[in-house]
Every structure is written in C-alpha cells, then in structure tokens.
A = this chain, B = another copy of it.
C-alpha cells in the first residue's frame, strides 16, 4: 500500500501524515529538506526524497503519485516531468485546487502516455489531519478503484465523506463549487457580525452570540464553530488588516457561472468584497469623487 505525495505544505503534509498513520507507506517529496525531515522524524511510515526522479524510482509499480502543488507553473512542470518518469499503468492524482478544465487537459495529456489520472478536490483545511478530509473525485472507474484505498484513509471514515463525482475534471469542478459556496457563507457571516458590531448602543457581545448560535440555530455550522472559537479570544480583531486575499477557486466559480449563464450574485459579491478590501476599487472610487465634484461642486477628500 504505497503512495507518493508531491508537495508537503499545509495540506499535503497533513495528508501524508494521515495516510502514514492509516498504514500506507508514504513516499514524499518537497523542496524543503526541513519539511521532509520533520515528517520522517514524526511518521515511521514516511520516507522523504530530494527529487521527484528518485522518488519515482523507489516507488513500487503500479505507482500512485498524488500532487499537492499550487496551480500554475510548478504544477505544470511536475506534470511534464512525471510524463517522462512514469510507466503505463501508473496513476497521477491532482489533489490540489485546480481549474477543472486544466484537469480535463491533464487527463488527456497523460492518457497519451498510457498514464491514468484522477482529479481530487480536497476540503478540510488544517483540521483535516484530525477530522479527515472531504474528497471529491473525477476520473475513469478503474482509476478511481486504484486510489480508493488511499481515499478511504483520508476521508473522515472509509464509507463516507468521499465521492466519485464523474469523469475527469468533475472532482475539481465539485470542489470549485464547494469553495464558491464557502465564499458566500463566509461573507454572510462577516456581514452579520459587522452589523452586530456596528450597533454600538446595544454593546453586543459578539463572542457570546456566536457561541449561542452554535446551539439550535438555523445557521449553526462548522464555520460558525470556528468563528466562535476565535472570537472567544479576541472580539475586536484590532490587530488584523482589512485585507483579504482570494485564491483561484472563487474566481473560477464566477467564470463558470458566466459561461453557464447561471447568476451567482452572492458568490460574486463575496469575491468582489475581497477585491475591494485590497484597494482594487480605489481608482473607481476616485472617479466617483471627481464626478461628484464636477456636477455638484461637492468637496473631494484628498489623499
């Protein structure tokens, strides 16, 4: 029961641990020697390699190589390298967040070399090591069969929390939609707590309210659990900047909604709020300020 994990960051590293603790023999690659050493020290079933080529050479056939790399150049280069290293019957899983159309392309490209492909959307964040990960798989049936035993270790339980969604790309598509929903839910909570905070004359204890909502309310959820956990320690968030990055998933969801012609006002506004938090609407706002001055003589704020 051997598996390779390429990329041992926050997600990949914990997945390697969960697999190793579940009994799989894990062959891991990461650029960081420190990361490899730490995993090897902690997990008897883990063995680190300082190159993908060495890892592949050691991994018994038929090989399962699970990628946990950021979408883009690094990921593309590794796909290219694996095509030269792997042999017929081997299988590549892309378990990172990737645009589903790229996964469809990867499936086709690998198939040309007789290699199998599975795209795996993985949810669970830093809590997945303890709780297990939700896993959404796309690919051919025989490919899914080849990775199933590993997926059962990663999932919260062997018989639940994972699914074969459909053909290649459908796993990442489903994960993309999951994250789109997540964007909307997060923004809904953020707006609600902002309204509680802004009603100053009520002097509401938002930490206590978040805790109470966890019990019996319609909006109880894991996100609310996390909110309650952190607000319990800090209700002012005074040290944080109002600056929110976005990863690709939210953008891909909106692009897809445009392509399908399905309106997603909430998911899209959640994304746009993040754009604005980073000052990306500054020029538009300056223009508004200028227009107000031009037609109404309204004073403009200067920088």
Answer yes or no: A45 CB below 8 A from chain B CBs.
Answer: no
* Segment among A69-77, A109-117, A204-212 that sits at the interface with chain B: A204-212
Answer yes or no: A287 CB below 8 A from chain B CBs.
Answer: yes
Smallest distance from the beta carbon of A139 to chain B beta carbons, Å?
12
Copies of this chain, tallied across the complex: 4
Hey, which chain B residues are within 8 Å of A134, CB to CB? 212-213, 215-217
Hey, which chain B residues are within 8 Å of A165, CB to CB? 202, 204-205, 209
A185 touches B125 (CB 8 A): no
Main secondary structure, interface of A, reads helix
Answer yes or no: A85 CB below 8 A from chain B CBs.
Answer: no
- Give A55 to B134 CA distance when docked, in angstroms: 54
Answer yes or no: A37 CB below 8 A from chain B CBs.
Answer: no
Hey, which chain B residues are within 8 Å of A229, CB to CB? 294
Hey, which chain B residues are within 8 Å of A211, CB to CB? 160
Q: Which residues of A contact B (CB under 8 A)?
A: 10, 123-128, 131-134, 136, 155-157, 160-163, 165-167, 169-170, 173-174, 177-199, 202-205, 208-209, 211-213, 215-224, 226-227, 229-230, 237-246, 251, 253-298, 300-303
B125 touches A295 (CB 8 A): yes
Hey, which chain B residues are within 8 Å of A297, CB to CB? 10, 125-126
Hey, which chain B residues are within 8 Å of A220, CB to CB? 221-222
Q: A227-B287, A230-B294, A285-B190 are in contact. Are A155 and B242 (CB under 8 A)?
A: no
- Given A177-B192, A181-B188, A266-B273, 8 more pairs with CB closer than 8 A: A126-B296, A132-B216, A185-B221, A199-B260, A241-B289, A262-B281, A273-B284, A276-B281
By Cβ-Cβ distance, the 10 closest A-B pairs, closest first, are: A184-B188, A221-B221, A161-B215, A263-B272, A242-B285, A181-B192, A190-B284, A134-B217, A242-B282, A265-B269
A180 (CB) vs chain B CBs: closest residue: B192
Q: Which residue of the partner chain, among B160, B178, B182, B288, contacts A190 with CB atoms under 8 Å?
A: B288
B256 touches A275 (CB 8 A): no
B288 touches A123 (CB 8 A): no
A127 touches B295 (CB 8 A): yes
Q: Which residue of the partner chain, among B181, B202, B203, contacts A191 with CB atoms under 8 Å?
A: B181
